[in-house]
Amino acid sequence: MTIEGELKTSKQFVATEAEAKLMRTAHDGMQVAYNVQTAVDAKHALIVDFAVTNDGNDHQQLAPMAEAAKSVLEAASLTVIADTGYQE
């Protein structure tokens, strides 16, 4: 599809990021974006897992990221800290 065609069907278009989707954001209304989730090992300050989604909020992201981090770290249990955006 041409850029003109994309702009007729969408409010925003990013030519270099075909996977980016129009998402509702907390501060700006709507914008083309990704939602990135990151799990970090606090002791070593290293990223242990990440995910890039087109979900407009974090409500369903915490458990999958915690399980992925637990698996990567081969931990029997772990403490998860998150902001209020993860409330379900």
pLDDT tens per residue, range 37-78: 999 998 899 999 999 888 877 888 899 999 999 999 999 999
CB atoms inside a 10 Å sphere around CB 39? 22
To the question of pTM greater than 0.75 for the whole model, the response is no
Structure tokens at 67: 């399980």
| Mean pLDDT (the chain, rounded) | 83
Q: Do 49 and 63 sit in the same domain of this protein?
A: yes
If asked whether residues 25 and 52 sit together in one domain, one would say: no
pLDDT attached to residue 51: 92
What domain range includes position 11? 1-33
On whether both 76 and 46 belong to a single domain, the answer is yes
> Are residues 87 and 48 part of one domain?
yes
The tally of domains found in the chain comes to 2
Both 48 and 78 in one domain: the answer is: yes
Q: Are residues 25 and 47 in the same domain?
A: no
**Nearest to residue 43, comparing CAs of 69, 65, 64?**
69
Higher pLDDT, 51 or 30: 51
